[in-house]
Amino acid sequence: MNNPTPTEKTIAQSHDTAQTLPSPVRCLSGALISGGMAIALYSLMTSIAQTFAAKPIHSDNPAVVNIASAVRTLVVGIVALGTGIFGLVALGLVALAVQILVQRLTKRFAPPSDRQ
């Protein structure tokens, strides 16, 4: 039948969800960290690309040239992908912080009949 007494599992689940609610400060701090990672990865990517450009491939074998250029492209591409992902995460977290602020401000100034 129905057990009206809460178990430890339900208490722990409600406690975990109460601690992980997003706040604008948490979103902005996460955006700052993610943006910092994006800037660091962008700096690394430009450094890698400049290093590859400064050191050309010296070989007469077309297979070696093709493989080396493919590896260089993959290395720069993977770092660029990481840069883009961290940059988009930072933008998304800033947008989430703005959305939470707007929701809190509109809920605060809403008429009492509209509140739930």
Judge whether 42 and 83 are in contact, CB under 8 Å.
Answer: yes
> For the chain, what's the residue count?
116
Distance between CA atoms of residues 26 and 44, nearest Å: 27
Compute the distance between CA of residue 99 and CA of residue 110 in angstroms, rounded to an integer: 16
**pTM score of the predicted model:** 0.72
- Rg of the chain over all Cα atoms, to the nearest angstrom: 25
**Residue 62 region by backbone torsions, left for phi larger than 0, else alpha for psi between -120 and 50, else beta:** alpha
Q: Summarize pLDDT for 51-94 with one digit per residue, the tens.
A: 999 999 999 999 999 999 999 999 999 999 999 999 999 999 99
